[in-house]
Amino acid sequence: MADAKKKQLVFNIIEFLRTSAQDGTVKEDDKESLEVAVQCIAESFGVDPDSSEDQKSYSIAPASLLSILDVFLKTKAKSAPSAPTSTSTAGNAGAKGSSDPTEEDKKQAEQLKAKGNSLMSSKLYDSAIEQYTQAIALYPNPVYYSNRAAAWGGLGKHEKAAEDAEKALGLDPNFAKAYSRLGHAHFSTGDYPSAVQAYEDGLKLDPSNTNMKTALATAKSKLAESSTNSVADREPPSGGAGAGGAGGMPDLSSLASMLGGAGGGNGGGMPDLASMMRNPQLMAMAQQMMANGGLERLMQNPALRGMAENMQNGGGMPDMSQLANDPSMRELAQQFMGGQGQGQGRGA
């Protein structure tokens, strides 16, 4: 089954053939054969030339295939290279004169625009774009570019819609509707800053435009929402250096709470870890130890492994004075302190 565009072409070919039979273009003896041909073409493409519904959907009146052909030939002639002239000034003048639309051009362009608007109402966006494009070829007008931008938007081709809206504004910077088209195109592609700017520029020209005010408020809301999400994506996980994580610093504050918080170190008992965690020097040392692989070396110490196993099996807290007198622990501490001093020297 032919698509809508092909049906539209066939419908207007049939109209051209019937008109040719009526205006004397075709000889009387050939009219019957022509009508048979029309019926065969209509059946082949699923078009009913006598249907009011097809008439509404596919007819390009007041334009015709002949008028469209005329537009094409004029456009082709204008785009052809002009003959060289004796001076560049004369050549420029001739080029300028050939590009100026005539009153007939403007009239045909307006008819094509009207047809495009009708097709837009029927949501035949492809066909509407064709009409606007032909109108622009005859008479580059900001309205035609703006209307074609709306048709591109109907097809979901918002980048092309933005291009046409910009072209319309290039021809007429005071055309408020083109700013509205531009804002919608940018909004649809997720470019909320550009959408806000376009709507604000349009409202400077048309402050009472309610639709544009609503669109601006929506674009600002989306912009604020996207900015909030962007900041949230950049923020590091909460907890800083003290938060547990893969390869990060263990949560020493939680460890202090688990071990009793304030132990009031005396008699070889557990020191006050909560107070230790508030000491910035100790925290810096602990972080340096983690960065230098000190935690792994600590857990290789037999005394510490025994202490951990004892605590896991329900034993009491270790005797810190005993740990302090352990030669291997003192050696590990000296190595760590030496590394701490070297690290500080490199950072200076």
Q: Is the peptide bond before 62 cis (omega within 30 degrees of 0)?
A: yes
* Cβ neighbours, 10 Å, residue 231: 9
Burial of 18 (0-12, 13-18, 19+ CB in 10 A): middle
Q: Which domain holds residue 170?
A: 152-224
Q: Which two tokens stand for residue 152?
A: 């591109």
Domain assignment present for 65: no
Contact between 184 and 153 under an 8 Å Cβ cutoff? The reply is yes
CA distance 337 to 286: 11
Give residue 346's identity as a one-letter amino acid code: R
Angstrom distance (rounded) from CA 330 to CA 301: 11
The DSSP 8-state label assigned to residue 248 in this structure reads S
pLDDT value of residue 340: 47
Instruction: Answer whether residue 170 is part of any domain.
Output: yes
On whether residue 312 sits in a domain, the answer given is: no
Give me the tens of pLDDT residue by residue for the chain, a chain 348 residues long. 568 888 888 888 988 888 888 877 878 888 888 888 888 998 888 889 888 888 888 888 767 777 787 777 777 766 655 544 443 333 343 333 446 889 999 999 999 999 999 999 999 999 999 999 999 999 999 999 999 999 999 999 999 999 999 999 999 999 999 999 999 999 999 999 999 999 999 999 999 999 999 999 999 999 998 877 765 566 555 544 444 444 444 454 554 454 444 444 444 444 555 566 566 666 666 666 665 555 566 666 666 667 666 666 666 556 666 666 666 666 666 665 555 444 444 444
CB-side neighbour CA atoms (13 Å) of 255: 14
CATH of the domain at 176: 1.25.40.10
Query: What is the token pair recorded at 77?
Result: 């002639």
Q: Is residue 119 part of a domain?
A: no
Helices (H), 206-260: 210-234, 252-258
169 located within any domain? yes
Q: How many domains are there within the chain?
A: 1
**Distance between CA atoms of residues 37 and 185, nearest Å:** 46
Chain centroid, CA 172 distance in Å: 27
Domain assignment present for residue 121? The answer is: no
Work out the burial of residue 9: count CB atoms within 10 Å of its CB; fewer than 13 is exposed, 13-18 middle, 19 or more buried.
middle
In a domain, 177, yes or no: yes
Tell me whether residue 189 is in a domain.
yes
The per-residue DSSP string of 76-106 comes to HHHHSPPPP-SSHHHHHHHHHHHHSPPHHHH
